[in-house]
Structure 1
Amino acid sequence: MAPLTERYPEMTVDDAYAISLAFLKARQKQDGERVVGKKIGVTSKPVQDMLGVFQPDFGFLTDAMFAANGKVQMKDHIAPRAEAEIAFKLKKGLKGPGVTAQDVLDATEYVQPCFEIVDSRIKDWKIKIGDTVADNASCGVFVLGAQKVDPQELDLSALEAVVAKNGVEISRGAGSAVQGAPENAVAWLANTLGEYGIPFEAGEIILSGSLVPLEPVVAGDKMTMTVAGFGSCDVEFV
């Protein structure tokens, strides 16, 4: 579809979040999906520059968005792009305001390497902040790596992700690219959601934002994210 921000220029970011929440309720009621986490989008400069969107946003993860076998069905997508992230698995809930990065680390059971496959209903990815927010922060599906690491044992800001596509390295990105450190981005999200009365729940997965530029994919592509001392994640597009 054409950008909502062009069709409804008076639309505010709060309007866009109201659309996103209504969309989520429809998925829950009509499709029986359940929320398993949240995601942060547009947190790093490479992604902001690529999309021309210069503030973070958030969306919801449901069980239907988890590609447990690491395979993403292209028939279910429009214009998918892959991004490498750090995922946080929470052992206790958090609710803003006032959540700090250390609070996030203390509330996290483990972190994992992750691919989020973003997608957009907006034609040609011609999005502004209101367009991506209304579209659930452009979330498609996500894939988690097998490794689970205590974040207290790592300097997440110093981690470097190396991303390869079909066996060829295409990008690198540090944890510091995401709001200085991934836990900072998660704290931002907890505090932003707190303004809407939405908490983080124990057991939820929080995707902290891409470390690298988004990579368009087609059927047959295979991608790997490798982080030294942390683990790896693979995704295949079929």
Structure 2
Amino acid sequence: MSWDIDSVATELLACEAERRDRVKFTDEWPELDVETGYKIQDETLRRRLERGEKLIGVKLGLTSRAKQERMGVKTPFVAWLTDAMILPADLPVPQDKLIHPRIEPELVFIMGDRLEGPGVTGAQALAAVSHVLGGAEIIDSRYRDFKFLAGDVVADNASSGAYMTGPVALPPESVDLSTEAVLVEVDGAIVDSATGASIMGHPAEALALAANDLAKRGLAIEAGWVILTGGMTDAVFAPPGSSVACHFTSLGSVFFNGGTAPEAS
């Protein structure tokens, strides 16, 4: 099949709706690069908004060395968040909507001011933040076995799925974000840990990168937006029946119930 921006956007949204994975597009369309991936990402966002979703922020992907090494990708990416991706704290992992969910801890910014690049520094980015929270993203991928190249993953909205934030919101100046630590617990056992320094040395650098990257597309980070700064550790699987928790030093804990397997169609 011959692929283009419109047909890839259609296929990605269909895979998401049908809980169906596929081989990466670059196997069949080697010219799918990062620039083209962003055009596809923007087209899928346009369709999400057209069907009633609301744009609420951005997420960064592959900002930590652990994630880059796992995925074989060296460059962080920016993607979109909509209100359909919010997972309330009292709900289980939505197994009936996701293909192969994995959970990764995140430091989450709530923007107080508009932030527009280019040339934004980490200090300038942090000054625009109202509050920081602990959180976690449930990443998912429309690609089989999470195998993709850079253009593929950008097109797929950086493996977006759902996200949850914790109970504690603090002004950024009251938290040392580079040393803020997280422990990842799976089924009662601690399996990984990291600090905010794993996110480009400081999560404010990821926020600055997002603002500067969006500026290349004539866009800015708006006041009130939610910013997921990227996974602090490698992601852990979240199968039905599992229990996953992310315990932060100052920002409380985020708990996930793996829920139940979806009924076979």
Q: Does 1:144 align with 2:165?
A: yes
CA distance, structure 1, for counterparts of residue 76 and residue 205 of structure 2 = 12
Question: Does the 8 A contact of 1:161 with 1:226 survive in 2?
Answer: yes
Aligned to 1:92: 113
Aligned to 1:132: 153
Question: Does the 8 A contact of 2:32 with 2:152 survive in 1?
Answer: no
CA offset at residue 12 of structure 1? 1.8
CA offset at residue 60 of structure 1? 0.4
Question: Does the 8 A contact of 1:115 with 1:235 survive in 2?
Answer: no
Structure 1: tracts of 5 or more residues without a match: none
Question: Does the 8 A contact of 2:102 with 2:238 survive in 1?
Answer: yes
Q: Of 194, 211, 215, which aligns to 2:215?
A: 194
Spell out structure 1 runs of 4+ moving beyond 6 A. none
Q: Does 1:73 align with 2:94?
A: yes
Question: Does the 8 A contact of 1:160 with 1:174 survive in 2?
Answer: yes
Aligned to 1:4: 25
CA offset at residue 229 of structure 1? 2.5
AA of the residue aligned to 2:113: K
CA offset at residue 233 of structure 1? 1.4
AA of the residue aligned to 2:141: S
CA distance, structure 2, for counterparts of residue 230 and residue 63 of structure 1 = 22
Question: Does the 8 A contact of 2:108 with 2:134 survive in 1?
Answer: yes
AA of the residue aligned to 1:191: N
Q: Of 174, 193, 216, which aligns to 1:172?
A: 193
Aligned to 2:17: none
Q: Does 1:52 align with 2:72?
A: yes
List per-residue Cα deviations over 1:172-222 (Å, max 9, x = no partner).
Answer: 011111100111111111100111111111110000011111111101112
- Aligned-partner SS, 1:83: strand
Q: Of 38, 57, 68, which aligns to 1:37?
A: 57
- Aligned-partner SS, 2:169: coil
Q: Of 103, 106, 128, which aligns to 1:82?
A: 103
AA of the residue aligned to 1:53: V
Structure 2: tracts of 5 or more residues without a match: 1-21, 260-265
Superposition TM-score, scaled by structure 1 size: 0.97
Question: Does the 8 A contact of 1:41 with 1:57 survive in 2?
Answer: yes
Q: Does 1:63 align with 2:70?
A: no
Query: Which has the greater radius of gyration?
Result: 2
AA of the residue aligned to 1:231: G
143-152 or 69-78: bigger deviation: 69-78
Q: How high is the sequence identity, in percent, across the aligned residues? A: 34
CA distance, structure 2, for counterparts of residue 71 and residue 203 of structure 1 = 26
Q: How many residues align?
A: 237
- Aligned-partner SS, 1:72: coil
CA offset at residue 83 of structure 1? 0.4
CA distance, structure 1, for counterparts of residue 192 and residue 97 of structure 2 = 26
Q: Does 1:182 align with 2:203?
A: yes
CA distance, structure 2, for counterparts of residue 104 and residue 233 of structure 1 = 25
CA distance, structure 2, for counterparts of residue 231 and residue 124 of structure 1 = 32
CA offset at residue 237 of structure 1? 2.1
AA of the residue aligned to 1:78: I
List per-residue Cα deviations over 1:25-73 (Å, max 9, x = no partner).
Answer: 11111x2001111000001111111111111011100000000134221
Question: Does the 8 A contact of 2:167 with 2:251 survive in 1?
Answer: no
Question: Does the 8 A contact of 1:60 with 1:136 survive in 2?
Answer: yes
- Aligned-partner SS, 2:178: helix
78-87 or 101-110: bigger deviation: 101-110
Q: Equivalent residues in 2 for 1:102-117 (5 A)?
A: 102-117=123-138
- Aligned-partner SS, 2:30: coil
Taking only aligned residues, the RMSD between alpha carbons, in angstroms, comes to 1.0
